[in-house]
């Protein structure tokens, strides 16, 4: 007899920043079968699915009881009795029930909670680990993008660019890559203390240092010194999430860095110079999120560098198509809560692959101990994952990847230099 969803329950839990978020549990044939926690962004793109927050005084307005109620009262009755492995059907039903373009009715945090929990329940019902359930040919272990210096909205410093990243593409495997990144981080720690004092090694939302730096040269030079000193310079390329919408002056229509106004052309030149000086493998959101044309110009200019659209695409087929048409960026950042269901996010990745784009699976700055993105990065054979530095809501994902590597045994292939298009 086919398995059936017999119960569904959402609750409000707490994420790594102390904000409430939604957790969803699913029971199949009377047995507890899947749980998912919903992550949350802070430097969000404006085209992301709507996150339902309660407002008012409680928990500074950040409460998620409304979203919890949507799951328990609106979604649950529709899902009882359905096949837990019918992911696409259930996700389509969620979209239908919501009835808006951006999950404004049910809340993307309600729908993705249900959708992710269902994926786990489907995996359990099928007797498979999540990554294998999503893709029976899952075998690529991603290169980690470890953001060692943090700025932007994820810290309290004045560093405009959000993330300065190292990518251990020359490592033998993920664990070896992690070792390189953390050894570099130890050296970076000492360099920062030496120059800025010990208060400067406090960390940002994603566990990277948040020193009092500004601009692009100071953080890159410091990071490069740490990399040189580590002896891993030949095994590393640099990455960056510029999150440029957040240092763009929307009223004046200019970029603003270290007090200077910059035109789109000047910002593009800044990246061209940077890439001439350092081995840069990947730049995310180099320009503001509405400038598809600028992204296309930059992508062409920086041939061989991965240009990733996060706020630009928000894991949404509609905007990825818009970008692909004119060659804006050559990779998408993959965050399932940006669009609101697992199926829509998987379809977005599939489309990106078919268009020759890469897929970088990513954390949100607000995470919990849920490690699903580690499984999804392998399921998508994405070849790359961005999931922070220290703090256990970040390292939990790396630890899960270490376990998956072990489980896959000789089948596991570390993406390494092929991170952009590993298969
Ligand atoms: C980003 C992310 C994660 P947030 O901009 O890529 O690094 O931040 O989750 O706040 O959008
Ligand atoms: Mg980003």
pLDDT digits (tens, 9 = 90+) for 321-335: 999 999 999 999 999
Superfamily in which the 134-418 domain is placed by CATH: Enolase-like C-terminal domain (3.20.20.120)
Confidence of residue 21 (pLDDT cuts 50, 70, 90): very high
What is the pLDDT at residue 241? Answer: 98
Instruction: Please identify, by atom number, the ligand 1 atom nearest to the C-alpha of residue 206.
Output: 7
State the distance from the centre of ligand 2 to the C-alpha of 54, rounded, in angstroms: 25
- pLDDT tens across 221-246, in order? 999 999 999 999 999 999 999 999 99
Domain boundaries, the chain: 5-127, 134-418
State the distance from the centre of ligand 1 to the C-alpha of 81, rounded, in angstroms: 36
Confidence of residue 406 (pLDDT cuts 50, 70, 90): very high
- pLDDT tens across 282-328, in order? 999 999 999 999 999 999 999 999 999 999 999 999 999 999 999 99
- pLDDT tens across 145-155, in order? 999 999 999 99
Check pocket membership of 365 for ligand 1, CB cut-off 6 A. yes
- pLDDT tens across 194-229, in order? 999 999 999 999 999 999 999 999 999 999 999 999
What is the pLDDT at residue 250? Answer: 97
What is the pLDDT at residue 308? Answer: 98
What is the pLDDT at residue 1? Answer: 79
Mean pLDDT (whole number) for 48-69: 98
| pLDDT of 95 over the 90 cut | yes
Mean pLDDT rounded to a whole number for the chain: 98
Check pocket membership of 310 for ligand 1, CB cut-off 6 A. yes
Alpha carbons within 13 A on the beta-carbon side of 49: 32
- pLDDT tens across 361-388, in order? 999 999 999 999 999 999 999 999 999 9
Catalytic (active site) residue 206: yes
Do 245 and 311 contact (CB within 8 A), yes or no? yes
What is the pLDDT at residue 304? Answer: 95
Instruction: Please identify, by atom number, the ligand 1 atom nearest to the C-alpha of residue 152.
Output: 5
Confidence of residue 193 (pLDDT cuts 50, 70, 90): very high
Residue 176 structure tokens:
């070896």
Check pocket membership of 364 for ligand 1, CB cut-off 6 A. yes
| pLDDT of 30 over the 90 cut | yes
Among the listed residues 23, 48, 163, 206, the single catalytic one is: 206
Residue 396 structure tokens:
């939990």
Residue of minimum CA distance from atom 2 in ligand 1: 364
Q: What is the pTM of this model?
A: 0.98
Do 294 and 329 contact (CB within 8 A), yes or no? no
**Share above pLDDT 70 across residues of the chain, in percent, rounded to a whole number:** 100
CATH number, domain 5-127: 3.30.390.10
Which whole-number Å values give the CA distances from 274 to 236, 238, 266, 278, 345, in the listed order? 16, 10, 12, 6, 32
What is the pLDDT at residue 111? Answer: 98
Ligand nearest to the CA of 206: 1
Mutate to test the pocket of ligand 1, among 241, 282, 309, 334 (most ligand atoms within 8 A of CB): 241
């Amino acid at each position: 007899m086919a398995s059936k969803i017999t119960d569904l329950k959402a609750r409000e839990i707490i994420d790594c920043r102390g904000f409430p978020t939604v957790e969803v549990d699913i029971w199949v044939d009377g047995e507890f079968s899947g749980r998912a926690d919903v992550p949350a962004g802070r430097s969000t793109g404006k085209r992301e699915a709507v996150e339902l927050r309660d407002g008012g005084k409680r928990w500074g307005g950040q409460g998620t009881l409304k979203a919890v109620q949507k799951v328990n009262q609106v979604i649950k009755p529709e899902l009882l009795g359905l096949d837990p492995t019918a992911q696409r059907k259930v996700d389509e039903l969620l979209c239908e029930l919501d009835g808006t373009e951006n999950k404004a009715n049910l809340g993307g945090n309600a729908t993705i909670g249900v959708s992710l929990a269902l994926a786990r329940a489907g995996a359990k019902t099928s007797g498979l680990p999540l990554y294998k359930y999503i893709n029976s040919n899952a075998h690529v272990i991603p290169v980690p993008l470890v953001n060692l210096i943090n700025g932007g909205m994820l810290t309290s410093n004045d560093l405009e660019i959000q993330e300065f990243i190292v990518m251990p593409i020359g490592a033998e495997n993920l664990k070896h890559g992690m070792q390189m990144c953390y050894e570099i981080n130890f050296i970076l720690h000492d360099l920062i203390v030496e120059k800025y004092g010990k208060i400067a090694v406090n960390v940002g939302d994603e566990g990277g240092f948040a020193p009092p730096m500004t601009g692009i040269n100071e953080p890159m030079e410091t990071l490069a010194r740490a990399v040189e000193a580590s002896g891993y310079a030949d095994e590393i390329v640099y990455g960056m999430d510029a999150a440029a919408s957040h240092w763009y002056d929307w009223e004046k229509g200019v970029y603003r860095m270290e007090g200077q106004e910059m035109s789109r052309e000047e910002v593009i030149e800044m990246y061209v110079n940077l890439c001439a000086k350092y081995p840069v493998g990947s730049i995310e959101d180099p320009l503001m999120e509405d400038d598809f044309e600028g992204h296309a110009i930059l992508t062409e200019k920086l041939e061989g560098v991965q240009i990733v659209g996060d706020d630009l695409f928000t894991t949404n087929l509609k905007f990825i198509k818009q970008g692909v048409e004119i060659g804006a960026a050559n990779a998408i950042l993959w965050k399932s809560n940006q669009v609101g269901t697992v199926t829509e996010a998987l379809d977005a990745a599939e489309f990106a692959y078919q268009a020759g784009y890469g897929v970088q699976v990513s954390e949100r700055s607000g995470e919990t101990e849920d490690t699903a993105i580690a499984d999804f990065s392998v399921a998508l054979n994405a070849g790359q994952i961005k999931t922070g530095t220290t703090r256990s809501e970040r390292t939990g994902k790396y630890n899960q990847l270490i376990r998956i590597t072990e489980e896959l045994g000789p089948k596991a292939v570390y993406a390494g230099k092929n991170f952009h298009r590993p298969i």
